[in-house]
């Protein structure tokens, strides 16, 4: 199977090439030429399999140029009990009768990015080897927090790769910072940038595009690549957990085989929920994909009106990983919905770039409306939902998942739909512990306490253990303590790679 660009200006390539390149040369995103189908019989056959067994079945349908043995090796290197603190990898818990929670945060960094970033390095190094690439791959990341740590954990000590992460010295939380500066691994480099996230990101972008550095790298046997969420190698592993959650519910007798269910997805860049769309198109019985947004509610407006408008104030919320105004992966959905016609997609993306907004035609809107529903939650509603869910179900939600729960409650109110539903949970409540503790315990218990003290407070209040990835962070040795001004980022990269 070949992968084509959503902008239609370059020729189709096999999966390995698409993963190696990350973004298509014409600026578009790679999508499979056709979506592989999964018959009810095949789904039934996957019922007794473990998470890794199911992952192999799904990935081999998309990555047809990889052998089953190669895929199995990638899957088994990624989803190991050593790295995930739940034997099921992505367990499904029951909140109440018809509502379940799919926990995607049992990986090393306690957020759902691990589901993809634990396997991406293996897919990427396989892809490089298959396409005859000799060079060592250098992953360059600018992070506002979560992605950097998840990428560091994914790539650490993976042969044939180096990873260099830049984070803004002003702008990450204490826990996030310590997660990065204490990072272990022989092939990792971490730098604080003396600036904000924009400075950091534009610094990384200009290094990627600098012909001189690229030439110097090539001479020394290196090649840049990117681990961000537009890479198909990050998207495809996410299809697996939609199927796996469904099968777990069938196996537990909570749904009948073939019964349609809803998924609620806390959404930012539209990667997670898009994987749900691919699962549905493969044949998984999905009734609605409910797109939950915070006050940066561009996607809610788009799904409701067909107008995508980024011309609005950017809001900082207590669900920071969803503070996004341009959801890159939406481009893939649009391309699918218009039947793989790059022309309208190219127009819309051009308008977004030029004017900051576009609107789609009624037919496109109708198709999206059939499968998707969307609402948003304010910070106040999010806190209220965390408090209420803990009081009534004894279950502690993180701020992102709480946005999902709040939006789901609004969905039920608006539609009366009784379809059984899975809330996709994207982070451990301990990862955003200050906001969660405040919601559950109130301002007084939280005032004046550090993030580390709050971990303890939250553990005591909830009876849950502090996850290994967050525990004792303040006692680990700091291994990366360099801060560079934005204009010296390129020099830092060269030094890290031993270049002149
Ligand atoms: C990245 C992230 C999201 C948003 O996922 P997208 O795939 O970008 O839509 C939601 N919650 C958490 C905790 C995240 O880290």
Q: Are 383 and 55 in contact, with CB atoms under 8 Å apart?
A: no
- Helical packing angle, 298-305 and 362-371, nearest 10°: 110
Ligand 1 centroid – CA 318 distance (Å): 13
Three-class DSSP category at 249? helix
269 close to ligand 1 (CB < 6 Angstrom)? yes
- Model confidence at 451, pLDDT cuts 50, 70, 90, reads confident
CA 44/CA 251 separation, integer angstroms: 10
Would you call 94 exposed, middle or buried from its count of C-beta atoms within 10 A (0-12, 13-18, 19+)? middle
Choice among 20, 61, 113, 410 that is catalytic:
113
Three-class DSSP category at 261? strand
Q: Tell me: the pLDDT tens digits for 309-319?
A: 999 998 989 99
Q: Which atom of ligand 1 is nearest to the CA of 401?
A: 11
Q: Cα dihedral angle (285, 287, 292, 297), rounded to 10 degrees?
A: 120
Q: Cα dihedral angle (127, 133, 136, 139), rounded to 10 degrees?
A: -50
Higher pLDDT, 31 or 22: 31
Q: Are 269 and 321 in contact, with CB atoms under 8 Å apart?
A: no
User: Which residue has the least CA distance to atom 11 on ligand 1?
Assistant: 426
Query: Has 113 been annotated as catalytic?
Result: yes
Where b means 16+ CB within 10 Å and e means fewer, 135-167 reads: ebbbbbbbbbbbbbbbbbbbbbebebbbbbbbb
pTM above 0.85, yes or no: yes
382 close to ligand 1 (CB < 6 Angstrom)? no
Q: Are 154 and 165 in contact, with CB atoms under 8 Å apart?
A: no
Ligand 1 centroid – CA 269 distance (Å): 7
Asked if the model's pLDDT at residue 70 lies above 90, the reply is yes
Q: What are phi and psi of 200, to 5 degrees?
A: -65, -45
CA 392/CA 379 separation, integer angstroms: 20
Ligand 1 centroid – CA 133 distance (Å): 31
Asked if the model's pLDDT at residue 212 lies above 80, the reply is yes
Give the largest Cα separation in the chain, rounded: 65
Lowest mean per-residue pLDDT among 39-43, 330-334, 363-367, 473-477: 473-477
CA 458/CA 170 separation, integer angstroms: 26
Q: Which residues pair with 167 in a beta bridge?
A: 192
Q: Which atom of ligand 1 is nearest to the CA of 267?
A: 9
Bridging pattern class, strands 222-225 and 261-266: unpaired
Q: What are the structure tokens assigned to 91, written together? A: 């367990």
CA 434/CA 185 separation, integer angstroms: 29
């Amino acid at each position: 199977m070949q992968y084509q660009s959503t902008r239609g200006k370059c020729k189709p390539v096999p999966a390995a090439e698409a993963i190696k390149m990350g973004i298509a040369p014409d600026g578009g995103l790679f999508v499979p030429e056709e979506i592989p189908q999964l018959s009810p019989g095949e789904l039934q056959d996957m019922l007794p399999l473990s998470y890794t067994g199911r992952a192999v079945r799904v990935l081999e349908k998309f990555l047809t140029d990889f052998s089953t043995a190669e895929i199995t090796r990638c899957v088994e290197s990624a989803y190991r009990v050593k790295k995930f603190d739940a034997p099921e990898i992505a367990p499904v818990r029951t909140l109440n009768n018809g509502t379940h929670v799919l926990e995607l945060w049992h990986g090393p960094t306690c957020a759902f990015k691990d589901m993809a970033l634990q396997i991406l390095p293996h897919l990427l190094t396989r892809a490089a080897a298959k396409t005859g690439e000799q060079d060592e791959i250098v992953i360059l990341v600018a992070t506002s927090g979560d992605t950097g740590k998840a990428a560091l954990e994914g790539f650490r000590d993976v042969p044939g790769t180096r990873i260099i992460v830049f984070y803004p010295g002003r702008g990450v939380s204490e826990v996030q910072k310590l997660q990065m500066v204490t990072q272990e691994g022989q092939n990792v480099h971490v730098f604080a940038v003396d600036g904000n996230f924009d400075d950091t990101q534009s610094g990384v972008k200009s290094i990627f595009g600098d012909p001189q550095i690229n030439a110097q790298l090539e001479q020394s046997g290196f090649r840049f690549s990117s681990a961000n969420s537009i890479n198909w190698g990050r998207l495809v592993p996410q299809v697996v957990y939609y199927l796996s959650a469904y099968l777990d519910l069938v196996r537990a007798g909570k749904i009948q085989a073939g019964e349609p269910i809803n998924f609620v997805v806390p959404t930012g860049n539209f990667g997670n929920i898009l994987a749900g769309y691919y699962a549905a198109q493969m044949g998984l019985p999905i009734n609605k994909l409910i797109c939950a947004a915070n006050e940066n509610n561009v996607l809610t407006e788009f799904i409701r009106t067909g107008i995508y408008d980024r011309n609005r104030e950017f809001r900082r919320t207590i669900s920071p990983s969803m503070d996004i105004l341009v959801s890159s992966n939406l481009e893939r959905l649009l391309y699918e919905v218009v039947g793989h016609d790059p022309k309208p997609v190219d127009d819309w993306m051009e308008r977004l770039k030029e004017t900051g907004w576009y609107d789609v035609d009624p037919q496109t809107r109708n198709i999206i409306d059939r499968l998707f529903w969307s609402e948003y939650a304010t910070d106040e509603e999010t806190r209220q939902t965390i408090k209420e869910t803990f009081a009534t179900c004894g279950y502690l939600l993180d701020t992102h998942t709480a946005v999902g729960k709040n939006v789901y409650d609004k969905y039920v109110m608006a539609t009366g739909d009784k379809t059984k539903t899975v809330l996709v949970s994207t982070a451990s409540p301990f990862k955003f512990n200050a906001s969660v503790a405040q919601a559950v315990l109130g301002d007084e218990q939280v005032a004046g306490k550090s993030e580390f003290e709050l971990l303890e407070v939250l553990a005591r209040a909830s009876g849950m253990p502090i996850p290994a990835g967050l525990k004792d962070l303040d006692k680990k040795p700091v291994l990366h303590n360099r801060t560079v001004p934005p204009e010296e980022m390129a020099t830092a990269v060269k030094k890290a790679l031993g270049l002149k």
